Amino acid sequence: MMGIKNIQAYLFKPVSILPLAIFRIAFGFLLCFSQLRFIAKGWVDDCYINPSFHFTYQYFNWVHPFTSETMYLIVALCAISAFCIGLGLFYRFSTILFFISFTYLELIEKSWYLNHYYFVSLVAFLLIWLPANNKYAIDPLFKKGSRTNMVPRWTVDILKFQLVIVYFFGGIAKLKPDWLLHAQPLKIWLKARTDFPIIGSLFDADITAFLFSWSGTLYDLCIPFLLWTKRTRPIAYILVILFHILTYMLFNIGMFPWLMMAGSLIFITASEWKNLLQKLKININLTPSIPSPIKTKALIVPLILLYGVLQITIPLRHYFLSDNVLWSENGIRFAWHVMVMEKNGFTEFKIIDQNTKKKFTVYPSQHLTPIQEKQMSFQPDMIWQFAQYLEKKHNTDGSKKLAIYVNSKVSLNGRPSQTYIDSNINLLHLTSVNSIYDYIEELQP
Amino acid sequence: MKVNNTKNIFYIFFACFICITIFIACEQEGNSEFTSEVQLYKNAQLSNIYDNEIYPLTIEFTTETNVLVSLAKTYKGQPTAANLETLQLQWKSIQLIWKQLELYDLGDIANSFITFEINRWPTNPENIEEIIASDDVINADYIATKGSSSKGISGLEYLIFSNKNTAKTRRLDYIVAVSKNLELKANQLASIWADYAPSFTTALNNGIDGSQNQVINAMVTLIEEIIISKLGNALGDTNGGTIEVNRLEAYRSSFSKEIIATHLSALKKCYSGEFAQTPFRVGFDDFLTLIGSEAFSEKINTQFKDCENKLNAIPSSLKEEIENNPENVIALKDAMRELLILIKVDMANILGSTITFNDNDGD
């Protein structure tokens, strides 16, 4: 009982709203930019409109795109709601709208899965429940009495926890022989970037790849705790900036570094902000006030615990599903495997009409966009999904008895290409997507 | 106090790291223009591709299309069997040049869609016949307004190789007009390449816009096209295995095999950089050697040889072979697939290249 009381006392201790508000502002404006960038780069067409077939997520097969105009509207609404989050305007409505629209957009197409998109959905979900608009926002100007300087500690710590999960499991994901013992795929990537200013010529040496591999692992495993600890926080945040700027310059990693740099701001406390801003001759009022009473207090602790347990178990599930998650990809999504492999593949499908014995060869490029084709070539569940799609396409009236086989070759982290899925297995005999993982050929060294 | 000490240690360590890095980096830089050996090689490779392959080919293409126009005019003036044969031979010469250039459909050239104008196949005989049957005046200006499937190298093949009576006036007008349009497009292509060459040879970055990536992608695209369209369709890949020789490229001229042989030769030269007897012939094989993958480089060379052997094992035209011994053509397609896997999967993996023109938001 004492333990629960202590936990409650810890979680509900009033702390300054400032870090939460800064996080909200940074997150909102960054995601607004990200969604506008998505439109500007033509990705709405590439991702939602152009494909004639979508790789949906398991249990979310019912999620489909709308017309071109509607999809542009949804992405635009997503950007506007993110902007409103940044402003702290219609906050609750904006966070709900952003979470629903962003998550919907991500669920449409699996080949566009990115770890940081998942991170954004999680944070958006959390923000719905957090009073991040109670100060430094527009909402309190219209709603008297809602302004407060203090919020319960859990509202800040849950975001810190989310950041810890990303970094720590990102580090755990690197504890693999390829990464630590062979410095792969960094050997490949760095050798391709010897044009990098000043230090580029060092990338030719294998030792540099090892240095990057090991220091990257150490960084991921340690940085959340260094950020959480007051004494090491200044150095930790400098490291956050250096690390992410370097990864941004070296790799095609999009918005991820900026999200992590912005997200890590949650660790900086109000007093640290005050000290920093004072150096810039800016004074902020941190006068404590009593946080608004929370009616669902009794539910919060178990809900936080449930969320925490899910966040810890989901990234670990691949250990129960596969011996080598990089090769099988079974459980790799939602597990923070960020930039840990160089993987390329090739697939070609053979359709046999078992009644007429006619054979058809299908090349994925005839049906899929380049990103879809590339991602499917080394992800078994997508190969299975594509076979189901081909079955529907070639058997419109359901009268044919088809068999579909895949010829697939995959190269992982510089290894020679090798057969990926058993080419003798009729993919239509596999009634569930999970069955295909039983037919992945063993990875040869 | 402890915090300050830790901070100081960090700053000192960081400053030392930067200094050492700059020092080592400067020491290793032998060439002031390029930051690394890889960059130097990349520039040499891209210059080699342009100077020794693309540039001479574009010039040759303009010259030969000019000859084509003269021969077309001669044939129009004297529609004899001998003049038709001369014209057909010239068409074949042009195909042999174009099939090397076709590989380099990238950057500004791809954006201009000029390759469609030069050679879009299959051609549309119905459209061509409709134009011939109409009352419109057929000349170069008129042909310029028509769709790419009614003109270009493929359209000309239909006009001079199909068993129609070529000696009719309007058909002769069409032949001259298409030839002139081809000459115009050849000049435009040379001009686009001349403008684009400086960007092409200096885009050394590793991203999707980098020229080396674009060349790899162009190689992949061409090999896929050979497998899917130039062999697979005719072998019945899409219809349940029924042979369809009229889905071969240039089946009317029975020139399909030569086209694939030329593609293969162009791909091999592109891989090895062996375009001309210049001293510094950098190709992808040199890159693989540079990063310690000589054995893999040799594997690709062996696969090129295998493809050539499979092609040489086809004694007659591709059209005849598909009809009589499709297994030989299937063997060629299989060999091409192995080549595709080596380049698209293995080479891209080793070089860390971005295969397929896609761009997304990270990992």
Cross-chain residue pair B25–A204, CB shorter than 8 Å: no
pLDDT band with cut points at 50, 70 and 90 for residue B37: confident
Cβ-contact B62, B68 below 8 angstroms: no
In the chain, the amino acid numbered B182 is L
Cross-chain residue pair A192–B351, CB shorter than 8 Å: yes
pLDDT band with cut points at 50, 70 and 90 for residue B357: very low
Asked if pLDDT for residue A293 goes beyond 70, the answer is no
Cross-chain residue pair A195–B36, CB shorter than 8 Å: yes
B42 vs A333, higher pLDDT = A333
Nearest-CB residue to A414 (from B21, B349, B354): B349
Class of domain B206-363: mainly alpha
In whole angstroms, give the CA distance from residue B82 to residue B167. Answer: 12
Residue in A166, A240, A251, A361 to test binding to B, most B beta-carbons within 10 Å? A361
Which residues of chain B make contact with A191, given a CB cutoff of 8 A? 38, 291, 352
Q: What is the pLDDT of residues B197-224, one digit of tens each?
A: 999 999 987 777 789 989 999 999 999 9
* Burial of A299 from C-beta contacts in 10 A (0-12 / 13-18 / 19+): exposed
Residue in B14, B228, B299, B341 to test binding to A, most A beta-carbons within 10 Å? B341
Cβ-contact B339, B223 below 8 angstroms: yes
Please give the pLDDT value at position A292: 55
For residue A79, what are the CA distances in angstroms to A94, A95, B279? 10, 11, 56
Please give the pLDDT value at position B21: 47
Which percentage of chain B shows pLDDT scores above 90? 72
Please give the pLDDT value at position B7: 54
Distance from A300 to chain B by nearest Cα, in Å?
Answer: 33
Cross-chain residue pair A252–B354, CB shorter than 8 Å: yes
Cross-chain residue pair B355–A195, CB shorter than 8 Å: no
pLDDT band with cut points at 50, 70 and 90 for residue B26: very low
In the chain, the amino acid numbered B273 is G
Which residues of chain A make contact with B232, given a CB cutoff of 8 A? 361, 363
Cross-chain residue pair B345–A344, CB shorter than 8 Å: yes
Cβ-contact A411, A344 below 8 angstroms: yes
Residue B288: both structure tokens together: 């693989």
Nearest-CB residue to B345 (from A204, A345, A361): A345
Q: Is B355 on the interface with A (CB under 8 A)?
A: yes
Which residues of chain B make contact with A189, given a CB cutoff of 8 A? 352
CA closest to B353 among chain A residues: A192
CA closest to B236 among chain A residues: A360
Cross-chain residue pair B349–A198, CB shorter than 8 Å: no
Please give the pLDDT value at position B254: 93
Which residues of chain A make contact with B363, given a CB cutoff of 8 A? 114-115, 251, 253, 256, 338-339
Asked if pLDDT for residue B177 goes beyond 80, the answer is yes
pLDDT band with cut points at 50, 70 and 90 for residue B329: very high
In the chain, the amino acid numbered B266 is A
Asked if pLDDT for residue A114 goes beyond 80, the answer is yes
Cross-chain residue pair A255–B361, CB shorter than 8 Å: yes
Q: What is the pLDDT of residues A187-215, one digit of tens each?
A: 988 887 877 888 888 888 899 999 999 99
C-alpha closest to that of B283 among B273, B291, B275, B293 = B273
CA closest to B233 among chain A residues: A361
Residue A311: both structure tokens together: 């966040």
Average pLDDT over residues A50-59: 95
Nearest-CB residue to B21 (from A202, A254, A255): A202
Distance from B227 to chain A by nearest Cα, in Å?
Answer: 10
B244 vs A281, higher pLDDT = B244
Asked if pLDDT for residue A288 goes beyond 60, the answer is yes
Cross-chain residue pair A417–B346, CB shorter than 8 Å: yes
Which residues of chain A make contact with B345, given a CB cutoff of 8 A? 344-346, 409-411, 417
Q: Is B39 on the interface with A (CB under 8 A)?
A: yes
Cross-chain residue pair A254–B361, CB shorter than 8 Å: yes
Distance from B218 to chain A by nearest Cα, in Å?
Answer: 14
Which residues of chain B make contact with A46, given a CB cutoff of 8 A? 358
SS3 category, A351:
strand
Cross-chain residue pair A116–B22, CB shorter than 8 Å: no
> Considering the domain B36-204 in this protein, what is its CATH number?
1.20.1420.20
Please give the pLDDT value at position B24: 43
- Residues A176-195, buried b or exposed e (16+ Cβ, 10 A)? bebbeebbbbbbbbbbbbbb
Cβ-contact A71, A43 below 8 angstroms: no
B357 vs B228, higher pLDDT = B228
In the numeric block, the tokens 């008129």 are attached to B142
Average pLDDT over residues B240-250: 93
Cross-chain residue pair A348–B337, CB shorter than 8 Å: yes
Asked if pLDDT for residue A1 goes beyond 60, the answer is no
Q: Is B12 on the interface with A (CB under 8 A)?
A: no
Average pLDDT over residues B168-192: 95
Please give the pLDDT value at position B6: 52
Q: What is the pLDDT of residues A76-97, one digit of tens each?
A: 999 999 999 999 999 999 999 9
Which residues of chain B make contact with A371, given a CB cutoff of 8 A? 356, 358, 360
Asked if pLDDT for residue A384 goes beyond 50, the answer is yes
Which percentage of chain B shows pLDDT scores above 70? 86
Please give the pLDDT value at position B31: 41
A259 vs B9, higher pLDDT = A259
C-alpha closest to that of B228 among B123, B333, B304 = B333
Give chain B as a 3 state SS string. Answer: CHHHHHHHHHHHHHHHHHHHHHHHHHHHCCCCCCCCHHHHHHHHHHHHHHHHHHHHHHHHHHHHHHHHHHHHHHHHHCCCHHHHHHHHHHHHHHHHHHHHHHHHCCHHHHHHCHHHHHCCCCCCHHHHHHHHHCCCCCCHHHHHCCCHHHCHHHHHHHHHHCCCCCCCHHHHHHHHHHHHHHHHHHHHHHHHHHHHHHHHHHCCCCCCCCHHHHHHHHHHHHHHHHHHHHHHHHHCCCCCCCCCHHHCCCCCCCCHHHHHHHHHHHHHHHHHCCCCCCCCCCCHHHHHHHCCCHHHHHHHHHHHHHHHHHHHCCCCCHHHHHHHCHHHHHHHHHHHHHHHHHHHHHHHHHHCCCCCCCCCCCC
SS3 category, A44:
helix
Q: Is B223 on the interface with A (CB under 8 A)?
A: no
Distance from A83 to chain B by nearest Cα, in Å?
Answer: 20
Please give the pLDDT value at position B250: 94
Asked if pLDDT for residue B29 goes beyond 80, the answer is no
Average pLDDT over residues A52-75: 96
Q: Helices marked H in A229-352 — which ranges? A: 233-250, 256-263, 270-279, 297-313, 318-321, 325-328
Asked if pLDDT for residue B171 goes beyond 60, the answer is yes
Identical fold for domains B36-204 and B206-363, yes or no, is yes
Distance from B39 to chain A by nearest Cα, in Å?
Answer: 6
CA closest to A47 among chain B residues: B360
Residue A441: both structure tokens together: 């050929």
Distance from B22 to chain A by nearest Cα, in Å?
Answer: 6
CA closest to A377 among chain B residues: B345
Cβ neighbours of residue A54 closer than 8 Å, sequence gap 6 or more: A64, A65, A108, A109, A110
Residue B97: both structure tokens together: 């040049």
Cβ-contact B333, B231 below 8 angstroms: yes
Interface of B with A in 52-111 (CB under 8 A): none
Average pLDDT over residues B307-331: 95
CA closest to B26 among chain A residues: A198
So where are chain B's domains?
36-204, 206-363
Asked if pLDDT for residue A150 goes beyond 70, the answer is yes
Nearest-CB residue to B36 (from A38, A204, A338): A204
Q: What is the pLDDT of residues A397-442, one digit of tens each?
A: 888 899 999 999 999 999 999 999 999 999 999 999 999 999 999 9
Under 8 Å CB pairs connecting chains A and B tally to 161
For residue B243, what are the CA distances in angstroms to A189, B158, B279? 45, 21, 47
Please give the pLDDT value at position B218: 95
Q: What is the pLDDT of residues B70-126, one digit of tens each?
A: 999 999 999 999 999 999 999 999 999 999 999 999 999 999 999 999 999 999 999
pLDDT band with cut points at 50, 70 and 90 for residue A296: low
Q: What is the pLDDT of residues A19-40, one digit of tens each?
A: 999 999 999 999 999 999 999 9
Q: Is B351 on the interface with A (CB under 8 A)?
A: yes
The rounded Cα A220 to chain-centroid distance in angstroms is 15
The rounded Cα B168 to chain-centroid distance in angstroms is 35
Cα first-last separation, chain B:
41
Q: Is B239 on the interface with A (CB under 8 A)?
A: yes
Nearest-CB residue to B358 (from A339, A359, A370): A370
